[in-house]
Structure 1
């Protein structure tokens, strides 16, 4: 699955066609988050990989798209998770596009 723009990720997630997981760390998530997108910090990924949804394609979100690209690449290479994509631009782009989020504006 290619990288997804925030608009496409939001559209597909809202329609139930896509699961999104946030791979930022807890303090970042506490400051700014999208309701309904679960947190699975990159630092805990290996220990918690079984928590990832497998019933539909998966997209990974972070602050700017860099960490989520690494996580998406890892999950794709590891196999067993179906289609995995990076959300381009992360939560910064999400907020910039006017998509819903809670907390402080991301920086």
Structure 2
């Protein structure tokens, strides 16, 4: 694990969501990717828009970043960590997501 970037497996996130834990799931893919299937509880904020939409994130609630394979969400996790957010990257991205998709 790289310095400053927490990671979470897709299975760990699924368990948190199933247990109704208070967690923000932010999907940083593009709209077309989102439309092809996403985590029901997720919010779409494409990576390029993230710096302009920080006010939509709750600093008091843990955040899990999601993308297709885990690369863009890793960058987003680094960025938000530097801004003081409690954030983790879902490793493997949607390619590894074991739960249902909307």
Q: Which residue of 2 aligns with 1:10?
A: 14
- Give deviations 1:65-101, integer Å, cap 9, x for gaps: 000000001110122x2x110000001100xx3x111
- Per-residue deviation, 1:19: 1.6
After TM superposition, list the pairs within 5 Å mapping 1:1-107 onto structure 2.
2-14=6-18, 15-79=20-84, 81=85, 83-94=86-97, 97=98, 99-102=99-102
TM normalised by structure 2 equals: 0.86
TM normalised by structure 1 equals: 0.82
SS state at 1:38 partner: strand
Say how many residue pairs are matched: 97
Distance in structure 1 (CA, Å) of the matches to 2:69 and 2:10? 11
